[in-house]
A = this chain, B = another copy of it.
Amino acid sequence: MKVLKQRSTCPISTALDVLGDKWTLLILRDMVFAGKSTYGQFLQSAEKMATNILADRLAVLESQGILTKAVAADKKSKFTYRLTEKGVDTVPLIIELVLWGAKHCPTIVDSGLLAELQGEKDAAVEKYKQLAREMARA
């Protein structure tokens, strides 16, 4: 069981103790926006995460109660990772990252998604949280 050290009692600092690195939120992005749920799927993302880093981050996320790990329904040799409510609650954060990145950095975003997020943000946040919950049930 991974133990994280907390630098202070500040909620921002503590949130960053858990989520503040270059890889963790990409795993959550893949779960929320790409519906990914297995080790192999995470490895295929464009950013090419190293296998040991992925294994480490999944273990941290599990020990922090952000996702759960269970044997896959189809294969005994495969695991399925699902978001908990604590994980689903990172959706607003991820959406703010999309908006900031799209506005201020040279990136490629689906224009429909961007319009949706820029228009009715609260509704979009709820929609993607609900979608994430449904995937976690499947």
Is the Cβ of B105 less than 8 Å from the Cβ of A11? yes
Q: Could you list some 23 contacts between A and B, CB below 8 A?
A: A7-B46, A8-B45, A9-B107, A9-B108, A10-B29, A10-B47, A11-B101, A11-B109, A12-B26, A12-B29, A13-B26, A14-B105, A15-B101, A15-B105, A16-B97, A19-B100, A20-B20, A21-B21, A92-B96, A92-B99, A93-B93, A93-B96, A93-B97
Is the Cβ of B22 less than 8 Å from the Cβ of A16? yes
**A28 to chain B: closest residue by CB:** B12
Verify if A131 is at the interface (C-beta below 8 Å from B).
no
A-side binding surface: helix, strand, loop or mixed?
helix
User: Which A residues fall within an 8 A CB radius of B?
Assistant: 6-22, 25-26, 29, 45-48, 86, 89-90, 92-94, 96-109, 122
The 9 closest A-B pairs by CB, nearest first: A11-B101, A15-B101, A8-B46, A11-B107, A9-B108, A93-B96, A7-B47, A11-B102, A15-B97
